[in-house]
Amino acid sequence: MSEFLGPAASGPRVWPVGALCRAVGDALDARFNPVTVRGEISGFSRAASGHCYFSLKDEAGQLRCAMFRRAASLLDFSPRDGDQVEVRGRLAVYEPRGDLQLVVESLRRAGQGALFEQFLQRKARLEAEGLFDPSRKRALPSMPRRIGLVTSLGAAALHDVVTALRRRAPHVEVVLAPAAVQGAQAPAELVAALRALYVLQPVPDAILLVRGGGSIEDLWAFNDETLARTIAQSPVPVVSGVGHETDFTIADFCADLRAPTPTAAAELVAAPQALWLEALGLIGERLNDALGARLDVLGQRLDLAAGRLGRPSGMVARQRLGLAHQAQRLHYAVLSKTERLSQARLVLQTDLPLKLGRSLAQRSERLERVAMRLQLLDPALVLQRGYAWLADPAGRAITSARQLAPGDAVRARLADGTVDMTVDRG
């Protein structure tokens, strides 16, 4: 059986546009997907729907990218134009325009994978050693007079911190210990700068460790292990203000307090001078009020004392009258004691012997009556009248004939002795 292909069977195939786009998309999917691409972000935008659109470019090419809301919600940083990133996704053809695009499923800063893994391992090790323990965190001084500052001389963070401190607390002295904040030499310089502040006399009340934002590579110096241990050894509180709000370094975890930005670090360590001046004004008003009230009380006491000193004769008369009253009370007290002693002596000499004799006679009479009653209750008197007390061999009293059976042994107690008997019949 043969197949009829029609007139176009011998010529080139004619594709509908949509079918060709789908075929190209299928070929891309089979050949490349999933794919990971590295490049620089360009034209980044986030739609109201939550979807993100941008291009990845390098010196040789450019690729349109779309990142839908679900994947965008998983980002741990805010992508910006110029960021070097690595994206993972699927190549596809956007059929309405016939454009090649990469549907992004995940996005991270370039080189972040290995560095971030190293960051997590180092963080876990230092945390296990207790360098991040909240119990070792110290509170910032409420009124610092001297603040140490570690940053680069060419960093924008230096300008931001100094400007904030001059605006809020111009009375606070700032001691700068310059150090590189990026590059291979940065960790050693940061450590040296901190140690220089530690031995300064007098030591600053607090230390700021700051730099502006950047990629994980830019901030890598602040993940140095020696720097972390040096921060933990600080004799005064250390505030870290490294990067932007979403950036975290090991230095942040070791510091006594983390600020989201360098400016915020300066604001945390120094309260506004106007606030303290206002507080001092309120304290001054309270002191004046308290002093005035105290002076009023003391003035009244002084007036009263002066009035008393102005009439000494009246005070002497009152004192004499009081002494006379006390003497009279003492006299009556002595008389009362003497009279009570006399009455007690009379009682002892007359009434007491009589009462004792009468009481003894009464007690003797009661004792005789009790003895007579006991004698009347003596079982021996009952036995003398011809009665007997029966008991079994165990000594238990027999009070009923039903307790006995023929052949039982019985002991009878009489007035002058006991008789052992045997029951003949019941």
H helix intervals, 233-351: 250-254, 262-269, 273-309, 312-346
Count other Cβ atoms within 10 Å, centred on residue 220: 20
Helix (H) or strand (E) holding 347: none
pTM for the full predicted model = 0.47
pLDDT band at 114 (very low <50, low <70, confident <90, very high): low
pLDDT of residue 333: 77
Digit-coded pLDDT (tens) for 205-255: 999 999 988 777 788 899 999 999 999 999 999 999 998 777 789 999 999
Report residue 142 CA to chain centroid gap: 21
- Mean pLDDT for the stretch of residues 114-127: 85
pLDDT of residue 132: 93
Q: Which residue has the higher pLDDT, 279 or 362?
A: 362
- Of 106-115, 212-221, 417-426, which range is least confident? 106-115
Phi, psi of 224, rounded to the nearest 5 degrees: -70, 140
Percent pLDDT > 90 in the chain is 26
pLDDT of residue 87: 87
Digit-coded pLDDT (tens) for 125-143: 999 999 999 999 999 988 8
pLDDT of residue 256: 94
pLDDT of residue 222: 94
pLDDT at 343 over 80: no
Partnered with residue 175 across adjacent β-strands are 148
- Mean pLDDT for the stretch of residues 395-407: 83
Count other Cβ atoms within 10 Å, centred on residue 126: 18
Digit-coded pLDDT (tens) for 146-172: 999 999 998 889 999 999 988 888 888
Classify residue 417 as left (phi > 0), alpha (psi -120 to 50) or beta: left
pLDDT band at 112 (very low <50, low <70, confident <90, very high): low
pLDDT of residue 213: 82
Count other Cβ atoms within 10 Å, centred on residue 79: 19
